[in-house]
């Protein structure tokens, strides 16, 4: 059971993932960072089967870095999301599909806009202003529907994140004590400690 959500403003994206790794009734880890930095301005957050998420994410991370080295430029968030979607679609048609859901968050330096792409394990992709994967989405879409507006500031975005945490704490069966919170903007990727919320 993973908790993964994100929301995008005009010039920033906030990505949130839980830090727990569990299988069945056993919690194996409490401090896992489920995000991967692909470029200085693009990250992915992943949820799904632990082996698939690590394997697929490292494969994508390696290929994006190889592209950057070969071409002396980074892929934009849109190009990155389309590459990931293509790789998931190819794997789905093979005998080795990945059980991975992703949120691709990034800031495009050429257009000056932030973007968020929702991709599921069936390689469906959509560019949307806010997204969630996992059971937490049943609770969080209601909060984000109510609170989100396209012109939000980072402070307002972090307030929405706090309201999402409150909704999960009150309504969700599983308790997630720790989250990884990352902001992607024109300055790159930075992590916000939960103590600063």
Judged against a pLDDT cut of 80, whether residue 49 lies above it is answered with: yes
Report yes or no: 122 and 21 within 8 Å, Cβ to Cβ: no
CA separation for the pair 83, 64 (Å, rounded): 9
Judged against a pLDDT cut of 80, whether residue 94 lies above it is answered with: yes
Listed as own residue / partner, the contacts of 88-96 with beta carbons closer than 8 Å and 24 or more positions apart are 88/56, 88/119, 88/121, 88/122, 88/123, 89/123, 91/56, 92/121, 92/122, 92/123
- Its pTM stands at 0.93
Considering only CA atoms, which of 183, 192, 196, 193 is closest in space to residue 43? 183
**How far, CA to CA in Å, does 89 sit from each of 25, 77, 83?**
31, 18, 10
Judged against a pLDDT cut of 80, whether residue 193 lies above it is answered with: yes
Tokens 């000056």 belong to: 112
Judged against a pLDDT cut of 90, whether residue 160 lies above it is answered with: yes
Judged against a pLDDT cut of 90, whether residue 24 lies above it is answered with: no
């Amino acid at each position: 059971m993973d908790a993964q959500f994100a929301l995008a403003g005009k010039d920033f994206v906030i990505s949130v993932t839980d830090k727990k790794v569990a299988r069945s009734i056993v919690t194996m880890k409490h401090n896992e960072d489920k995000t991967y930095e692909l470029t200085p301005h693009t990250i992915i957050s992943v949820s799904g089967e632990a082996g698939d998420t690590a394997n697929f994410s490292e494969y994508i991370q390696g290929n994006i870095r190889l592209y950057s080295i070969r071409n002396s430029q980074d892929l934009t968030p849109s190009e990155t999301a389309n590459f990931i979607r293509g790789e998931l679609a190819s794997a789905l048609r093979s005998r080795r599909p990945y059980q991975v859901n992703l949120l691709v968050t990034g800031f495009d330096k050429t257009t000056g806009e932030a973007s968020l792409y929702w991709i599921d394990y069936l390689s469906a992709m959509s560019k949307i202003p806010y997204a969630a994967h996992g059971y937490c989405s049943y609770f969080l879409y209601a909060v984000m529907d109510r609170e989100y507006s396209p012109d939000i500031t980072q402070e307002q975005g972090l307030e929405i994140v706090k309201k999402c945490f409150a909704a999960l704490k009150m309504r969700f069966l599983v308790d997630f004590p720790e989250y990884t919170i990352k902001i992607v903007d024109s300055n790159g990727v930075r992590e916000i400690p939960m103590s600063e919320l």
